[in-house]
Each structure stands twice: as C-alpha cells, then as structure tokens.
Structure 1
C-alpha cells in the first residue's frame, strides 16, 4: 500500500506521513522545499523502514499541480491513499487587508489542489476498488467570523467536499475521511502571522494527536473526525446554537488570541 501526502515536511502532514508509515504504507512526500523534503524522507525511512519517494512541487503553480496529478494517475506503483494536507492561511491583514491575489493563492492550494488531485486519484482507486482519501480541513470551517474569512470559507468547502465524497463513494471500496482540528501546535500560525499567546493549554492539539485520530477514522471509514474532546464538544454545541451566536463567538475568540490571520 502506498500513500501520497501533500505538505509533508512539517506539522500535521509530517505527522500523518509518520503515522501511515507505522501502518506499513510506503510514502510519496510532496512539498515545495526540496532539501527539507529529502531530510524528512530520510528520517522516515530510517525510523519506519518504508519506501519514501520525494516529489518537490509548488501546488500554487500549474507545473507543480500537473506533476502530482501525473504521479497519481500512473499505473506503476499506484497510490492507494491520497492525503490532501497542504494548506496556507492569509498573510497578516486578513481578507480586506491584502490584495485579492492573496486570497486567490490561498484558494489555489486549499481548494483547487484538493479538487484536482482528488479527481486525478479517484479513477484508479475506484477501478482497483480499494484505497481512499484523507482531507485535512479545520474547525474554522464551521465558524466564520475571523478577519481571514477566505481561510474559513476554504475549509468549509474542504469539509463539504470530503463528506460529499464519502457519500458518493459508498459501495466503491474507496473511502473518504475529513479531519477538522482546532488549534494545533505547528509552524502554521507563525507563517500566517497569528499570535496565540493567550490561548489556554486545553485548547491545543499536537500534530501526532491529530494524525492518529485522522488515520484511525480513515481505517474505520468515518466521514468526519474532530480530534480532541474539547473541540468535539465545541462542535456539538455549535450545531445547536443559532448561527449568529457561532459567528460572534468565534470572532471574539480570534480577536483575543490573534492579531491577524487564520487558524488551522
């Protein structure tokens, strides 16, 4: 079995790659930084004794997307599991504080690459009647109200897309699991210009916790995974509250814990 993981050199993607390797999956690791990609692959090979291909690719660029699509459609050493993890937030300033190109770039990775790579992978998976998808979304997709509304909207799309695929693929032998974590300790917040200094410790998740929840959910065929008891409780409560309360509550949380930006 072989899994392709995008955004595989840090955070949730790195943890997902490691967790799948412990399950015996050979890996294809995708990221922009070729040197860091090679280092990550070597670390996983040494620790897990699995095969690790590396595929340097910028998913904001047409040639990068095309290269990953080509690997997903090859019949030799086919990909059994596609992990759509790569994602970015808006730069400091949020939606209105940045040129529209910033939001377009965000959508290129958070939406377009997920759409295209999934479309490339699924025909082979359904023909073989095995395999599946893990899509990394965010709890922010359920809670608009942040200045970086493009990010929240992209994750709402990812969740709807992943859950929709779960329904579409029933009976095909292929599954789709979407994982929507809350705050995760990774490089993501620093890259997005987000300050999280005032967040209580009980709200934080770690990449290995998220990855383990995601892989377990995938193995069980679970359509949507919310890691962590605090976030599962918050999600359940949010489904019962008026929508405007959810918008307001999330906006207040973000105004207390971040200067600008988005959350995964």
Structure 2
C-alpha cells in the first residue's frame, strides 16, 4: 500500500524491479502472481522498464538489465572515501587470506560497498550492493557503536531486530550491551549473526567532525577465526588498516 505523499505507480515499478532482481529471468504470470498484481498492470510496467533500458525481454522471460549496474557504480563512485576504502579492503584480503568488506549504513540497513576475496576465503551470499539488517553484520555493529542511542533506537523502531540465524541479536538490550563492548575494545565481533559457520570482526571508519563513514570487516569460517587469531592478530590488522584509511581520507 502506498504511503502518504508517495506515488503508487512508482512503488509498483520498484517492487517489480526488486522481484526481477531476486527471481529473474521470469515470466509475466509468475511476476503477477508473486506480487499479487493484475497481469495487465505488470505488463505495462515491464514495457516501460524495457523501453527505458532497465529490463530485458527474452521471449517472455524478463530480467533486469545491466543499466542498474551502471547506476550503482555511479552512486558508489561519487564518494572519494569509498574508492580509498577499496584499496584497504584489497590489502586486508591479501594479508589475511580471508574475505574483507567495506560497508556503510543507508536507510538503517548495512550495505556492502566493496568486497574482496582472499586466497582462502569461503564464498557466501554477499556482494557489493547487498543490504542486510545492520545489527547482524560485524561492520554494521561497528557503525552502530559510534551512533548516539537515539539514532540506534530509531533504526530498531523502523526495522526491528530481524534474525538471520539462530545466533542473531533479537533483543534491544542485548544489542546495546554488545555495542558497549564494541566501544570499549574498538572493534566488533559478529559470531554467526548473518551466516551460520561464519565469524567476523569489524571496526568503524571515522571521518572529519567525528562522523561515521562506514566500517571495515574481515570474515571467515569459525574454525579459522578463533583463539589468538581472533583475539590479537586480526584485530591488530583491522585496526591498523582502519587508522590508515582514516588518515588517507583526512589528507586526500
């Protein structure tokens, strides 16, 4: 249902685009059924999207076009600090042989902006542009740890505390306790909160005037991120890279 002050037709267009992003290529009937919209309505939106170059039609199977990739790259490229973060993500992946990410908060969600796979990194369902509940990721927890409580509570009020695994944080007080521990040590630990079997550490990247730009994180299987590596080696590498990135951003 359209919210007050919004345009229903545009909301439907984006619902269709998001459906294609998850399920495409897919036929007209499946889209209409999945979104509970009339086929005639869906067809008009698809024809418009195709005409503007945002959807492809392969004999009745519709999919998003790479024009969305063009827009995403433009959005990411307009921030010079994001380009600098990409270099540190690559360095962390090389030095740890694990998966490294740079993540930001947008509309109360954690959004992966850059990701690099190290030599021993395990593959997971994460990629640049993916959004996840911010409290379920290490970088997201690191970002939240630098926010005032009223802003954290506003995000929780808007999105709730969705569980992605049985180990996700689902209680507000538990979240605030975890954030306080993150502030005290300077980095977060996410123990299988977004993907079972995966552990990660994250640190906030702070810019001028003490504002949060995003978060760097390192993630890997729990059997490799444990013991001294979890307590000392990886935090030292992560905090060092974060400090270097903050200096690069300040004096670019």
TM-score band by shorter chain is under 0.3
Greater C-alpha Rg: 2
TM-score with structure 1 setting the length? 0.26
Alignment TM-score, normalising by the size of structure 2: 0.27
